[in-house]
Amino acid sequence: MTVNDSEYIRQAEATRVRVLSEALPYIQQFAGRTVVVKYGGAAMKDSALKDKVIRDIVFLSCVGLRPIVVHGGGPEINSWLDKLGIEPQFKNGLRVTDAATMDVVEMVLVGRVNKEIVSLINQAGGLAVGLCGKDGNLFTARSQGEEGIGFVGEVSNVNIKILETLASNGYIPVVSSVAADETGQAYNINADTVAGEIAAALGAEKLILLTDTSGILKDYKDQSTLIPKVDIREARELIANGIVSGGMIPKVSCCVRSLAQGVRAAHIIDGRIPHALLLEIFTDVGIGTMILGSQFTY
């Protein structure tokens, strides 16, 4: 081994130790606290990123946090609809969900995507349990009420007992965004919304949305205009004056709603960055946009 090699190894080890040392106060601060992670986007499709997200979730669990994973699965739903010869339809950005589509959504999200995430977490040394809204009446649905979109729902009620039972015993709940109304009719609910409502009901420390964006940008074409930290009032203003637009509006609104109900901090982070979760939670700089409830300071 050359002098250069040993110097490189020494520096790499020093970096690793520095990172662990920097993480310590965060681990101490968040031990025993609940973190709700909405898992989606590229981090769900790219197998190398998927592996890192899964490891991050297991890491959170191992250092004493209580991660709860909420997921959607749009691309996989589309590919199964295609296999079954059902044409996907969208209206105002929402999937039109007729009875046949709803059957596929439920089979894919609850049967395939959910169990794949559960299996990957278990392989990585965690203890995951897969749930949907129907399990233990975790959350119930009601129709969104919009004309012509079928079985697209909103969360009408959350019952966190099953999540608390699992998380307090070291299990990692993995929740798919399918639920039933009081008549037993299944509904497809936006996974960001489900994550926000669960975080609010649990009084979570953090709600973290893994997205395919860097966070909130002042100019959406310029990555260098990332806004690292805002409070609820500023977030509402960003929506009102059009800086937050398009697909970011529901994400930021969902964060604001959960903060207004007592979640301490919400984060919109770039799931395309390897180990985005650990970077955001355990480092001084973070990597995305953190939205704070007005009464909290970090």
Q: Which residues are catalytic?
A: 38, 41, 74, 192, 251
Q: Is 95 annotated as a binding residue?
A: yes
The CA distance from 225 to 215, in Å, is 10
* Secondary structure letter of residue 279 according to DSSP: H
Please tell me whether 257 is known to bind a ligand: no
d(CA 26, CA 58): 16
Q: Given the structure tokens 């608390």, which residue do they identify?
A: 164
Among residues 84, 83, 105, the alpha carbon closest in space to that of 94 is found at 105
- Is residue 38 within 8 Å of residue 208, measured between CB atoms? yes
199, amino acid identity = A
Residue 143's DSSP bridge partners are 153
Q: Is 66 annotated as a binding residue?
A: no
User: Is 215 marked within a binding site?
Assistant: no
Can you say whether residue 150 is alpha, beta or left, with left for phi > 0 and alpha for psi between -120 and 50 degrees? left
Rounded CA-CA distance 188/72 in Å is: 10
In the block, tokens 């995430």 appear at: 117
- The annotation places the binding site at 73-74, 95, 188
- The annotation places the binding site for substrate at 73-74, 95, 188
